[in-house]
Chain A
């Protein structure tokens, strides 16, 4: 599909592929979230991080992307020595060639200390017809470029289907990415006319336009 004149793919594995730049864009990984749960006495098995990294590897293989930009919240919290870090470093070693950059989010305070060999980008950086941020900027700011961001973890419902699904939220002048992490809650989005969502349902992307009324 075309977004602000650029050819992009919205992938059911919760990533946006910017074809011209061979770049994958994801948001809200929340690495180390289960580690912080375990240390606080909440028994969650490890494996979540490995699952993410596997999905990332598949995405990279599938799209032949050369760079990966994370639009904020790569980390979940201050724990930078958990099991996830080993797994991350292992994964990074397998993808040496990949350009990896992060627009730091509100959860990324420990990013510098974590030493993850990632490039840090400024919030609001522009490239082509896009502007990249972690959180959506206020709507009043007139902008020339299309904003791509994360932070909200949009999810959507479909009538008659019990669950909610992580979704891309396509608004005018702005696209909000779904959280890449499977282990986060979400902000329920009911698109209005002129908007659309693309839900990620077990790896498949399902598109839906905003409708009059609110049967969603």
Chain B
């Protein structure tokens, strides 16, 4: 359909307030519904000019609550306009959600006979919708934060937003804690500057920090209201307990021993969703199910974040239409898309967090008023206690908070270039505008100047960046971008989601299946088989960043399953605390009854963890001398703490320590005995000089180098590549973030982005603040030091973990020399063996 350039008579419907309400009411009646109390409250507040945050479970009518006000206003408006103007922006974090929302809103607008254009502007939008959005000819625009930033980079489009009345931010809890949320905060500040009367409503699931969530969204309104929707739905959690004789392993993350039971349950229902914690686990479960699947093979599907959008969309459509019997998925399906056909939800392994489990449970029978249910499938014995803990936490209403980010200079630099493109900005005015957001409220002049220096002259010292050009400060004091190619590349790179370092997997003369890590595919050679996207594939060749594959001829040969590094979500604080409580005082629930023999053993050979005590076990195995420490604070924090303790220990007495972590604690291992007296442990766990000591670990530099990838991309140091059609000029501008990091370290060590990389590692990855707090708490509390004769139920899973780190004062040269010598030894062994 073509959009006519000629003006259209877009009007309000010209009804009275009462008539407008009656028309909306009639629509509700026609659906067989009645407006809920919280919906009416949000409409009333919106019409009175208020902004706020509504929290209510997905599927409870939040869309109608948020859109009702703007619709009532439009129905009762008598304004007759020549051309359409953007009136309502509907911001959504998920592209998949955007098309569903657009469809629903279009139907509603049509049913109310409101002459509005409804368009979607996301990465997948149609050309028509993109044109409507760009030219401002849609009253209601459904958009992602990145696409909104993109629109703000066009001066004429930004000008259309002057007439904006309302912004709705859907699934705000998904944006609150990440850089996409920061980007949105900056965009909202810009919209408020353009349209001072703008009202803004956030929609959120239940969070541990709702008032803060409201403040971050509406920093200009101290009085922003938080409206509660329907009370949380009932929640039932059942566990697939192993058969009588079958014992759960003490360690492990795959859990395929439960496959027959899961299969029976899947076959007993019409449609099931199986959630796993990692993509590799999803691939494994999908492959295992496919091997015993007796139903139509087309009725079993896979869904995870590394699959191509087409494959994911096919699985989503299949679920929506009830064609699929079972989908194995990762968190890629956690979010609010509605699948009413889904009857049951499985969680394989640890639930990791309360909010996450609730969200997953909510995927089943997803209709207002119906309760969420989840069937948990343990992969190791201690998963059982986490299920019981999750149930208890839900009952008590303990939900995790999401911590908003602050002072991300990479996002700020990107935003400044966007605005320089979108008509230019005045530095002082923008400084005030940016400080109006929650994320940058504490931005000082000096940092602001450093950000400006970065985009205008490349860095603080002008002479270090000769011939740099990106943003120019014009004679009138406005910062602008004039170079067409810089503008083009910036628009390509807008957004904060990172996805590089991955190799596209493409079928010869076929479509793209998705992407795998370069490090995974790099270990394969042409002809090798591997398992990805639920298919047995054979590698044909790798060209640039594309791996060409064909379907493997023999499905019997089992290739390696694709793996992705990282991706282990840490156990939440809330759940960790609840787990300790249950250890100390087991409840009378099936999970803990099944676990009773194991708990008894732990109590007998060592001790059970107790709140406000730190359990430590010291023992030796053939691998060396070990110290196990159990703070129950999640693997991210344990990694920081383990690195810290290793460093301190190696300082106190010469020893070479390595460590492993899991969600319950960490293990230090050394070749020489660890003299674990209480006195010594207190010294190691001292809350003093934590930052300095962490800086001293070799891991910090490596972690910062890795963290820099995302920062470099957001701040525009990585030139985005266009898959398939890379021009010569773009190829000449490619360098990995690691190389850029090294160059900056060497030649501009005070660079603001390097500082940010270190800060993100300390705050987000190693969780410095929580480490300090935890050490301070434990300094006041008793230590429970035990020396069991052998590995205990708690220590075994740690002992079985892969080593995560090695604290060493050795140089790279020594380490590489040793690795080479070891290889040489092995090599000569092979030669002798021949």
Taking beta carbons and an 8 Å cutoff, which residues of A are in contact with B? 33-48, 51, 76-77, 82-83, 158-163, 165, 182-185, 188, 199, 201-204, 206-209, 211-212, 214-216
Give 8 A-B pairs besides A201-B812, A201-B817, A208-B820 with Cβ atoms closer than 8 angstroms: A33-B735, A41-B485, A41-B489, A77-B732, A158-B820, A182-B742, A201-B816, A206-B816
A83 to B813, CA, bound (A): 33
B746 at the interface (CB under 8 A from A): yes
Interface residue range, chain B: 35 or more
Q: Which A-chain residue is minimally distant from B803 (CB atoms)? A: A160
Report the stretch among B20-28, B295-303, B339-347, B466-474 that lies at the interface: B466-474
Report the stretch among B109-117, B348-356, B357-365, B823-831 that lies at the interface: B823-831
- With both chains docked as a complex, state the minimum distance between the C-beta of A173 and any C-beta of chain B, in angstroms: 22
A216 to B811, CA, bound (A): 20
Assess whether B483 is in contact with A48, with CB atoms less than 8 Å apart: no
Most buried by A among B702, B729, B739: B739
Option from B467, B734, B817 in Cβ contact (under 8 Å) with A38? B467
Would A40 and B486 be within 8 Å (CB), given that A183-B743, A208-B820 are in contact? yes
Report the stretch among B78-86, B457-465, B756-764 that lies at the interface: B457-465
Residues of B with C-beta under 8 A to A35: 466-467
Q: Chain B contact residues: over half helix, strand or loop, or mixed?
A: helix
Please report the number of residue pairs spanning A and B whose Cβ atoms sit closer than 8 angstroms: 141
A–B pairs, 24, beta carbons within 8 Å: A35-B467, A38-B465, A41-B486, A44-B743, A45-B743, A82-B466, A83-B467, A160-B815, A165-B816, A183-B739, A183-B743, A184-B735, A185-B739, A199-B816, A201-B816, A202-B812, A206-B817, A208-B823, A208-B824, A209-B827, A211-B827, A214-B523, A214-B525, A216-B823
Q: Which B-chain residue is minimally distant from A197 (CB atoms)? A: B820
B748 at the interface (CB under 8 A from A): yes
A183 to B816, CA, bound (A): 21
Assess whether B734 is in contact with A185, with CB atoms less than 8 Å apart: yes
Residues of B with C-beta under 8 A to A163: 812
Residues of A with C-beta under 8 A to B510: none
A135 to B486, CA, bound (A): 33
Q: Which A-chain residue is minimally distant from B522 (CB atoms)? A: A188
Assess whether A161 is in contact with B812, with CB atoms less than 8 Å apart: yes
A37 to B468, CA, bound (A): 8
A35 to B458, CA, bound (A): 12
Assess whether A158 is in contact with B816, with CB atoms less than 8 Å apart: yes
Would A183 and B735 be within 8 Å (CB), given that A40-B486, A45-B459 are in contact? yes
B755 at the interface (CB under 8 A from A): no
A117 to B459, CA, bound (A): 33
Assess whether A201 is in contact with B813, with CB atoms less than 8 Å apart: yes
Assess whether A40 is in contact with B489, with CB atoms less than 8 Å apart: yes
Residues of B with C-beta under 8 A to A46: 464-466, 747
Residues B784-827 near A (CB distance < 8 A): 811-813, 815-817, 819-820, 822-824, 826-827
Q: Which A-chain residue is minimally distant from B487 (CB atoms)? A: A41
Q: Which A-chain residue is minimally distant from B523 (CB atoms)? A: A214
Q: Which B-chain residue is minimally distant from A84 (CB atoms)? A: B466
A109 to B616, CA, bound (A): 66
Residues of A with C-beta under 8 A to B733: 36-37, 40, 42
Taking beta carbons and an 8 Å cutoff, which residues of B are in contact with A? 454, 458-459, 464-470, 483, 485-486, 489-490, 522-523, 525, 702, 716-717, 719, 729, 732-736, 739-740, 742-744, 746-748, 811-813, 815-817, 819-820, 822-824, 826-827, 830
Assess whether B468 is in contact with A43, with CB atoms less than 8 Å apart: yes
Option from B522, B525, B729, B819 in Cβ contact (under 8 Å) with A159? B819
- With both chains docked as a complex, state the minimum distance between the C-beta of B225 and any C-beta of chain A, in angstroms: 43
Would A39 and B467 be within 8 Å (CB), given that A77-B732, A158-B820, A211-B827 are in contact? yes
A202 to B810, CA, bound (A): 13
Residues of A with C-beta under 8 A to B702: 162
Option from B470, B716, B732, B743 in Cβ contact (under 8 Å) with A48? B743
Residues of B with C-beta under 8 A to A203: 813
Assess whether A45 is in contact with B744, with CB atoms less than 8 Å apart: yes
A48 to B742, CA, bound (A): 10
Most buried by B among A39, A82, A184, A185: A39
Would A207 and B823 be within 8 Å (CB), given that A37-B733, A42-B719, A214-B525 are in contact? no
Q: Which A-chain residue is minimally distant from B717 (CB atoms)? A: A42
- With both chains docked as a complex, state the minimum distance between the C-beta of B93 and any C-beta of chain A, in angstroms: 29
- With both chains docked as a complex, state the minimum distance between the C-beta of B223 and any C-beta of chain A, in angstroms: 42
- With both chains docked as a complex, state the minimum distance between the C-beta of A17 and any C-beta of chain B, in angstroms: 20
- With both chains docked as a complex, state the minimum distance between the C-beta of B417 and any C-beta of chain A, in angstroms: 9
Residues of A with C-beta under 8 A to B820: 158, 199, 206-208
- With both chains docked as a complex, state the minimum distance between the C-beta of A30 and any C-beta of chain B, in angstroms: 9
Assess whether B458 is in contact with A159, with CB atoms less than 8 Å apart: no
Residues of A with C-beta under 8 A to B830: 211-212
Residues of B with C-beta under 8 A to A212: 827, 830
Would A204 and B813 be within 8 Å (CB), given that A35-B467, A82-B467, A83-B466 are in contact? yes
Assess whether B717 is in contact with A43, with CB atoms less than 8 Å apart: yes
- With both chains docked as a complex, state the minimum distance between the C-beta of B761 and any C-beta of chain A, in angstroms: 15
Assess whether A44 is in contact with B827, with CB atoms less than 8 Å apart: no
Residues of B with C-beta under 8 A to A206: 813, 816-817, 820
Option from B469, B736, B740, B819 in Cβ contact (under 8 Å) with A41? B469
Q: Which B-chain residue is minimally distant from A35 (CB atoms)? A: B467
A96 to B469, CA, bound (A): 35
Residues of B with C-beta under 8 A to A34: 743
Option from B464, B469, B735, B824 in Cβ contact (under 8 Å) with A39? B469
Option from B735, B744, B823 in Cβ contact (under 8 Å) with A185? B735
Q: Which A-chain residue is minimally distant from B830 (CB atoms)? A: A212
In the A-B complex, the 7 residue pairs with the smallest Cβ-Cβ separation, listed nearest first, are: A47-B747, A43-B458, A158-B819, A41-B470, A45-B747, A41-B486, A45-B748
A113 to B525, CA, bound (A): 42
Assess whether A37 is in contact with B735, with CB atoms less than 8 Å apart: yes
- With both chains docked as a complex, state the minimum distance between the C-beta of A29 and any C-beta of chain B, in angstroms: 15
Residues of A with C-beta under 8 A to B732: 33, 36, 76-77
Residues of A with C-beta under 8 A to B746: 47, 51
A76 to B733, CA, bound (A): 10
Residues of A with C-beta under 8 A to B486: 40-41
Residues of A with C-beta under 8 A to B743: 34, 44-45, 47-48, 182-183
A48 to B682, CA, bound (A): 47
A108 to B469, CA, bound (A): 24
Residues of B with C-beta under 8 A to A211: 823, 826-827, 830
A209 to B485, CA, bound (A): 46
Would A43 and B470 be within 8 Å (CB), given that A158-B823, A188-B522 are in contact? yes
Q: Which B-chain residue is minimally distant from A39 (CB atoms)? A: B467
- With both chains docked as a complex, state the minimum distance between the C-beta of A92 and any C-beta of chain B, in angstroms: 20
A185 to B459, CA, bound (A): 24
A161 to B818, CA, bound (A): 10
Assess whether A47 is in contact with B464, with CB atoms less than 8 Å apart: yes
- With both chains docked as a complex, state the minimum distance between the C-beta of B705 and any C-beta of chain A, in angstroms: 9
- With both chains docked as a complex, state the minimum distance between the C-beta of B507 and any C-beta of chain A, in angstroms: 24
Q: Which B-chain residue is minimally distant from A212 (CB atoms)? A: B830
Option from B464, B469, B813 in Cβ contact (under 8 Å) with A202? B813
Q: Which B-chain residue is minimally distant from A164 (CB atoms)? A: B738
A165 to B654, CA, bound (A): 29
Most buried by B among A44, A161, A208, A209: A44
Assess whether B469 is in contact with A45, with CB atoms less than 8 Å apart: no
Option from B485, B734, B740, B819 in Cβ contact (under 8 Å) with A44? B740
Q: Which B-chain residue is minimally distant from A159 (CB atoms)? A: B819
A199 to B820, CA, bound (A): 10
A158 to B820, CA, bound (A): 7
Q: Which A-chain residue is minimally distant from B826 (CB atoms)? A: A211
Q: Which A-chain residue is minimally distant from B455 (CB atoms)? A: A43
- With both chains docked as a complex, state the minimum distance between the C-beta of A44 and any C-beta of chain B, in angstroms: 6
Q: Which B-chain residue is minimally distant from A214 (CB atoms)? A: B523
A39 to B733, CA, bound (A): 10
A36 to B731, CA, bound (A): 11
- With both chains docked as a complex, state the minimum distance between the C-beta of A110 and any C-beta of chain B, in angstroms: 12
Residues of B with C-beta under 8 A to A39: 467-469
Would A43 and B823 be within 8 Å (CB), given that A162-B702, A182-B739 are in contact? no
A33 to B743, CA, bound (A): 12
